[in-house]
Amino acid sequence: MASKTEKLLSLLDGQPVIPVLKIDRVADAVPLARALARGGLRVIEITLRTADALECIRRAAGEVEEAIVGAGTILDARQFDEAAAAGSKFIVSPGVTRELLAAAGGSEVPLLPGAITPGEIMTAREAGLDFLKFFPAEQAGGAAFLKSLASPFGGMKFCPTGGVSAGNARDYLGLPNVICVGGSWVAPDDLVKAGKWDAIEALAREAATLRKG
């Protein structure tokens, strides 16, 4: 698991914001991925929250060479395998289960599982994971709660997602135990539906400047 964490971190390559995308129309997948990549956000997460999510992953991964496409909202081993087969370079889940850990253990595709409680974090740590999704971040206590985890879990790093926005992203990125944040604000539904790719590119370019430090 540790080597896969390193693989995931290398894919991120210092990107501060991971776009979390819910794509309703397959036709939007490729231009959306291209717009985000042009803005500096090459790594994207397409969530399995729509009927055509796997096809969106397949098209974005297959047609946008500059994009690094991952799959989110993975709940079980079947979805893990389907997302990996569709071309996902990484898998994100809202929580951590033994089934998902087993699926990840048999795959070259790295897993970023969600955890918010000390028990969940310890379960992931026992499995050899030290990079986790902190979800839902704002609802679970926000940056203050995540900061309180830095001391007892000194070796653990997080990607907070859920309620993270342009307004509070820096609060999270300033924490010593945060690698990046996940957010949907860089691709608002209204801009996607209107096909305003230039506007999305501009939002991505702005988000890409939210470096740690």
Closest CA to 131 of 104, 153, 112: 112
Q: Which residues pair with 192 in a beta bridge?
A: none
Closest CA to 39 of 193, 213, 191: 191
Q: Active-site residue 147, yes or no? A: no
Look at the alpha carbons of 67, 197, 73, 185 in this order and tell me if their dihedral is positive or negative.
positive
Residue 101 CB contacts under 8 Å (≥ 6 apart), including other chains: 111, 113, 127
User: What is the chain's length?
Assistant: 213
Catalytic one of 4, 89, 133, 157:
133
Q: Active-site residue 45, yes or no? A: yes
In the chain, alpha helices (H): 2-12, 29-38, 53-63, 77-85, 98-105, 118-126, 137-140, 142-148, 169-173, 189-193, 197-207
Catalytic one of 4, 22, 45, 89:
45
Secondary structure, 3-state, 89-104: CCEEECCCCHHHHHHH
The catalytic residues are 45, 133
